[in-house]
Chains A and B, each alone.
Chain A
């Protein structure tokens, strides 16, 4: 009996050490282990991408960061996600677009399938004003998904505001997608502290990279992009999925492998 007690004691020491070093969720006894609550999500429309996010899409009640250089396909992917949010909840189809650069094109958004009648576009003058408007829109709980473009170019107060935003997101039943364009390292250090803070606060961080253009008989028909999970609280970081965006009057998604 004493030998068994010693083994249990040693096991408890090992578990305590693991929990102290990594986290309480790193090692748990079977009796203590509780399945994590199911988190709702909005599908991206790409099954292969949904499969690697760990949430089956963009998580509700949490921040998702989508970063990528220009022409990587992040805007198109984001618009397609807005469309999915509208389709998934016909009773609450309102989605919002925080458009700080002022570059949103209604024609292209419509071609991505977004119902313009159920799209609210917000064009605040500064990132700080955008955060205030975003917080108020979240509190109203009328939107299913919010896409914020250019928000991470804010000043020194941005990390604290993002932390507030993350707490507001809880129980909001809304997915917040932040778009981020990586900048040169010197500029990151100089005046853009928001990106690091966003990575910390995001439950899911996706990185988009255009792989190649798709052409057919010398005319451009679309492009193929790789979406990599840089960080996921539920999924495996490092996994990537290929997606194809095809233009034919309307913007279409195409499953690929």
Chain B
């Protein structure tokens, strides 16, 4: 197989910047309809702002953040234009998210020599269509995952072609968070001390299967450079709607939601095993009064874990505030998509440089140096060595400033 991944980083914020010169510099965040952050620009990510955060969370990390609301129609039009450019090749094209897609080059290329001019032509065509602000980064490999990692490892306007013999060497040092696993599994990997794809690839298949299920086994193959997933053109078939009937009418949508999530569990498990998730969902309530209010949700990232889905749907239902008592709830998946790494900035912004930066900054170092002689080692700097540790008391630590002397 020969797969090209075409990725336009910060697609939506790039669109906004293209239309407004005032937004060209500084941190920029794009707001979704529910008020959470849909996308954060590279400057905002450098301050710790991530997609999915609330406005307050984002502003807390980046007070200078400028927020603009998403324009779904405009984004869809530009995405269609982008997909059109890729489709002009006459090859199979699979669109992943806004500004990212795969092209199956197998019918027209034999080796890396054939790919290079083709990629260059495609990159120029995308730039001509969408403008300089939305230049793509291109990655090529024999599988989708490595091609995607290659595209994420280069800056816009460049390409990274990974020959088969270099796959293991290329993937090995990349962060394990690139794997399209659910957040909990990625967190478990971190607790186990597995930081890179190389670490993960060295795990035994049986142990991975036992710990992370079929999704883990598939992820192991991806980390080893073998991606069996083909490029699938066109929209994916959505599963049949799931409907739950309640025994008695209730005015608490949370109860109905729990019943719905139990009914959705087999579908979610199936999606998770394929490293896929629900990108969009439509909820339809059946009220005691006979009305059927509807609610459509589009998620920042495809979801396959019940916890994240519960949180997103609870917030949406709380915002919708359907009047009256619920008799039943029906969910129809609008869009199914492959999971993709959420923390794209890991590669592009160099997260590893942050601890070093934190180390260099010492609070009132000159002041402490003056006071140490009189008061002794009673001065400390606070830091968060492991901010996601399950035990709260292990997340933060105090570092003595005695060595400031």
Contact = CB atoms under 8 A, between A and B. Distances in A.
Interface of A: 87, 94, 96, 104-110, 113, 116-125, 129, 132-133, 136-137, 140, 142-143, 217, 248-250, 252
A99 to B, nearest CB: 8
Contact of B371 (A87, A104, A133): A133
A87 B63 contact: yes
Interface stretch (B130-138, B212-220, B326-334, B362-370): B362-370
Contacts of A140: 364, 367, 370-371
Given A217-B254, A252-B56, A124 B378 contact: yes
Given A140-B370, A248-B54, A118 B363 contact: yes
Contact of B375 (A120, A129, A217, A249): A129
Contact of A110 (B57, B252, B375, B384): B384
B124 interface: no
Contacts of A118: 363
A94 B364 contact: yes
B383 interface: yes
Contacts of A96: 364
A250 B54 CA distance: 10
B380 A123 contact: yes
Interface of A is mostly: mixed
A124 B364 contact: no
Q: How large is the interface on B (under 10, 10 to 19, 20 to 34, 35 or more residues)?
A: 20 to 34
B375 A132 contact: yes
A120 B381 contact: yes
Contacts of A250: 56-57, 60
A133 B378 contact: yes
Interface of B: 54, 56-57, 60, 63, 252, 254, 314, 358, 361, 363-364, 367-368, 370-371, 374-375, 378-384, 387, 392-393, 395-398, 401
A89 to B, nearest CB: 13
Contact of B363 (A94, A123, A248): A94
Contacts of A104: 382
A215 to B, nearest CB: 12
Interface centre among B254, B363, B384 (most CB of A within 10 A): B363
A104 B60 CA distance: 21
Contacts of B401: 120
Nearest to A121: B380
11 contacts: A94-B364, A105-B393, A113-B60, A118-B363, A120-B401, A121-B398, A132-B374, A133-B378, A217-B252, A249-B57, A250-B56
A129 B378 CA distance: 10
A98 to B, nearest CB: 10
Interface of B is mostly: mixed
Contacts of B56: 250, 252
Identify the 9 closest CB pairs spanning chains A and B, nearest first.
Answer: A106-B396, A106-B382, A107-B396, A107-B395, A121-B380, A117-B361, A116-B382, A120-B363, A217-B254
Nearest to A97: B382
Contact of B367 (A105, A120, A121, A217): A120
Contacts of B367: 94, 120, 137, 140, 142
A195 B367 CA distance: 29
Interface centre among A122, A248, A249 (most CB of B within 10 A): A122
Given A87-B63, A113-B60, A121 B379 contact: yes
A222 to B, nearest CB: 13
B364 A120 contact: yes
A158 to B, nearest CB: 18
Contacts of B370: 140
A117 B358 contact: yes
B342 to A, nearest CB: 15
Nearest to B377: A123
A136 B368 CA distance: 10
Contacts of A129: 375, 378
A250 B61 CA distance: 11
A87 B62 CA distance: 11
B278 to A, nearest CB: 22
B364 A143 contact: yes
Nearest to A124: B378
Given A117-B363, A120-B367, A120-B368, A110 B396 contact: yes
Nearest to A112: B60
Contacts of B63: 87
Given A109-B382, A117-B361, A248-B54, A133 B392 contact: no
B375 A136 contact: yes
Contacts of B381: 116-117, 119-121
A106 B378 contact: no
B139 to A, nearest CB: 33
Given A124-B375, A125-B378, A106 B383 contact: yes
Contacts of B252: 217
Contacts of B383: 106, 116
A117 B361 CA distance: 6
Contacts of B254: 217
B382 A119 contact: yes
B57 A107 contact: no
A104 B393 CA distance: 10
A87 to B, nearest CB: 7
